[in-house]
A and B are shown apart, each in its own frame.
Chain A
Amino acid sequence: METVTAAKKKKKEKPVPFDYSNYIRKGKLPHIWCPGCGHGIVLKCMLRAIAETGRPNDDFALVSGIGCSSRTPGYVNFNTLHTLHGRALAFATGLKMAKPNLKVIVTTGDGDALAIGGNHFIHTCRRNLDIVIMVYNNFIYGMTSGQFSPTTLPGMIATTSRYGNIDPPFDVCKMAEAAGATFVARGTAYHYGELEKILHEAIMHKGTAVIDIIDSCPTYYGRFNKFKSPADMMEKIEKEGTVSVKQASGLPPEKLEGKLLRGVLCKKERLEYTEGYAKLIEKAGGSKPK
């Protein structure tokens, strides 16, 4: 009997909405992202994942390059660095080497990470530096008015591909895994709970963590490709266009065609770069880094 009443009481308890005020800089909202842009949802997931770690704001550093996604550090109350186009990972590498105890998170877009900063991306993965790389993948260059990016799907329309794109896209996760990242995952803005868990796991992971986050750009990608609304985009691209790893294991291959896998795709242990560097310093008889 007692358990029943306890369960009833629990059900009646009102949920408390998450308080973002500790993590958002005062007076910076509303943000510049367009109505219906998925970046805001991803930002909220990231803040909740960071809050779950229980570590103080000063332990985190957000680094970004140029683009819509790279506006993120402007709104959050951590150590932040807004840098050059595509070079966020280069700055983040320097920061991490100088302060190995900082948890460095890089917020970058598909164009920023894979086209302009493609070289930095693969080499950061190769070194296994302890950085979380969040690739906000909206399949287009949003800030510069909708040119196609390295992840734009074939046949899709962009400002620079008026008759449909013919370039085959990059698979961010496969590339990161091949380059040597030790934590590779994919999430979407629609599946906010899953994304929050993945981000938390990535933050706790020691080594390069790459998360390909599918979200939507209603202003350019949506309008060019005849999606009715931001919600329609979320449903078609994020919900119907992806399958979780668990579901995929029970589906025939023809049903998985054209769909992206969601969830943690690769997780392994390997020597982290700053640890290796500290060992090297010790071997050479130098002083310990602070």
Chain B
Amino acid sequence: MTETETEKDLPRILIYEELCKGCDICAVFCPTEVLELKGNMMTVKNLEACTRCQLCDLRCPDFAIQVF
């Protein structure tokens, strides 16, 4: 499980590595291009751009990503 967090008011994106299958759906449908597929795993590329819209969570077929 990777966790990305900063002290300010930035969102917190949790990616469960044991669940993610790297299908790339969340990255393609992210409106602000926050996520990026690296190898077989989803990673956070640009956390500042995240608007907490939750589209990645709602379209993830594998219960692998959450945004707080």
Q: A residues bordering B, Cβ < 8 Å?
A: 14-18, 20, 24, 29-31, 33-41, 44, 189-190, 192-193, 218, 229-231, 234
Contact = CB atoms under 8 A, between A and B. Distances in A.
Interface of B: 11, 18-19, 21-25, 28-29, 52, 54, 57-63, 66-68
A18 B18 CA distance: 19
A30 B68 contact: no
Given A29-B19, A231-B29, A36 B58 contact: no
Given A15-B52, A15-B54, A30-B19, A20 B24 contact: no
B61 A33 contact: yes
Contacts, number: 69
A38 B67 contact: no
Nearest to A43: B61
Given A35-B23, A230-B23, A234-B25, A40 B67 contact: no
Contacts of B60: 40-41, 44
A37 B61 CA distance: 7
Contact of B54 (A17, A24, A35, A41): A17
Contacts of A34: 21
Given A36-B25, A231-B25, A24 B63 contact: yes
A109 to B, nearest CB: 16
A79 to B, nearest CB: 21
A287 B62 CA distance: 47
Contacts of B18: 30
B63 A229 contact: no
Given A29-B63, A44-B63, A17 B57 contact: yes
